[in-house]
Amino acid sequence: MRKIPRSRIFLAMAGVLLLVLGAFSGNAAAASDKTVLPVPERHVLVIHLNAADHPYQDLFNSGLRKALEQDDRYHYDFSYEYLEINKIPHDAVFLQKTVDLFAYKLQHANWTPDIIVASDGVSDLLLRYKKELFGNLPIVACAPAKAGKSSVPIDQFTKNYLLPGNDSFAANYQLILDLLPQTKNIYVVLGNSYEEQILLRLAQEDAVNFEDKVTFVYTNRRSNADMLSTLRNAPPDSAVLYSRWTTDIEGESFVSASSLPFLTSSIRLPVFGTQQQYIGNGIVGGYLHDISLLGEDAGNMVIDLLDGVAPTIYTDIERYHRYVFDQKVLDEWKISASRLPAGSIILYGEKSFLQEHWQLVLIVAAIITLQSGLIFNLVRNIRRRTKAETEIRLLNESLEGTVAERTLELSDANAKLAELNQVLDHTSRIDALTGLYNRRHMDERLREELEVFKRLQEEFSVMIADIDDFKVVNDTHGHEVGDQVLKILAEALCSSVREYDIVSRWGGEEFLLLLPGLGEADAYDRAEKLRSKVQEITCSQADPFLCVTITIGVATIRENESVSQLINRADVALYQGKYSGKNKSVLAR
């Protein structure tokens, strides 16, 4: 074998070392070049015509945010301005005051918008104030009036606009007759405002092609009470198409999405709708105008404008309509999903018990399995003990070694049995869903604390915290979301109290807290901090459905007072908080 000179080995090793060092230094330099740059911000001012209690504006906002959140090049900040023109429509003085207030806000705001987004109706009212309010800021706007009608063309306000479209009456008339062919009368619910009068003309024009099949009744010339009475007394072969109900013949104003649930629950007729925000309020569904899709298009137009690209002008108004239905209401009127138009969206479908409560089923199965195992081990240990005792009696003193061995086995079995009993006792004191102490454990702790108070006069306080509008969460989003809310609230409560405070699930969405050593003033201050902290923690979740508030009733122990009397005072204070507005703490009297 040929021997390699040591000098060559040394040179080879040196070359490898230089390559490694070069690669390392190159990677280090590359890593140093990868500096983290801050994400630039873009400020978007969104202007709405009506007050903030109109749900369709929330749909527009959600669609706008959805489109812009997909653009990770910028961090978008939003500011929303609700002009509330609908409260005093067609009033020049009110409009001028509104514009003056709006201009003041823009002048004194701590940030300047990069772009303006205006929903429908805004451009018509603010045209003559455009230069004063917005200068040369780019504006994205929707057509100013239903049916595309306005005192001025939309392109005088901005070249970047969308046509939102109208309620599709003809498609909904046909849908009603397809799904309910026995229908002889269609009641079209429309109020008497200017916008609703425009929609009424559209509804009547679309009804011409159906008048040989069905009789149309329009509600625009009725008061609210008369409209409800008309629908309640309608023949059973009738259906309702709900478009708007904002102003009745007497001039009284309404929010359609708020009055609709009362209407659908007050009459025994199938109610169809024309707007996406109505779904979930008792309507069957319909060919619905979904303004969230309009908001998405507005967001895409914002991105184009910020990029310096000429935006697409969307003129296909049908892109904002889709067939959407409520499964529960379909079942109520015995309408089969197979008869719905192709591509229909069905919401709020009923889940089987197993689908809705699969987690509970798994927990119950696990508990049963655990209990079965514990019982089996208990029986086995008892049998071993009996066998050992029998053998001890039979072997007597002459078998001391065997007795010692069996005694050791018996001691081990007893230790295991005691450990199992401790596990069972702990399990019986814990709420399975939230991991908090349950009512049994809290009852014992309250009695112990009361005895300390009687002997040493060391006062303590209790709080009953109840989730506000928890039934709405369960009814709207299902019990799975409700369970998630309970878990998050339990974690928030535990992280916001002292180590020696006791937090328990008292029942349903109620939580009972025991706070040793706190008097009335300190307990109330602690409750307010706890309430604020819970809202801060729960509302920081990524899912908006999990954002909740709580109302707290606070009570401090008094002389000659029982635990039940103390709890009752806290409970009364809790309900005072509920009835006086919720999301507050109330000290028991």
By annotation, the residues acting in catalysis are 509
Phi, psi dihedrals of residue 373, rounded to the nearest 5°: -65, -40
- Per residue, the 3-state secondary structure of 523-569, as one string, reads HHHHHHHHHHHHHHHHCCCCCHHHCCCEEEEEEECCCCCCHHHHHHH
C-beta atoms surrounding 11 within 10 Å: 11
CA 307 – CA 114 distance, rounded (Å): 12
Q: Distance between alpha carbon 483 and the CA centroid of its chain, in Å?
A: 13
Cα Rg of the chain, angstroms: 35
CA 134 – CA 50 distance, rounded (Å): 20
Q: Which two tokens stand for residue 222?
A: 């009725």
Q: Which helix (H) or strand (E) holds 134?
A: helix 130-134
Write the DSSP symbol of residue 71.
-
Residues 6+ apart with CB under 8 A from 208: none
CA 297 – CA 280 distance, rounded (Å): 25
Structural contact between residues 310 and 274, judged by C-beta atoms closer than 8 angstroms: no
Dihedral sign for Cα 220, 221, 222, 227, please: negative
Look at residue 272 and give its three-state secondary structure: strand
Residues 6+ apart with CB under 8 A from 98: 83, 84, 85
Residues 6+ apart with CB under 8 A from 185: 214, 215, 216, 217, 234, 235, 237, 238, 239
CA 585 – CA 573 distance, rounded (Å): 8
Q: What does the DSSP assignment read for 91-129?
A: -HHHHHHHHHHHHHHHHH-SS--SEEEE-TTHHHHHGGG
Q: What does the DSSP assignment read for 408-459?
A: HHHHHHHHHHHHHHHHHHHHTTB-TTT-SB-HHHHHHHHHHHHHHHHHH---
Look at residue 491 and give its three-state secondary structure: helix
Look at residue 158 and give its three-state secondary structure: coil
Structural contact between residues 267 and 227, judged by C-beta atoms closer than 8 angstroms: no
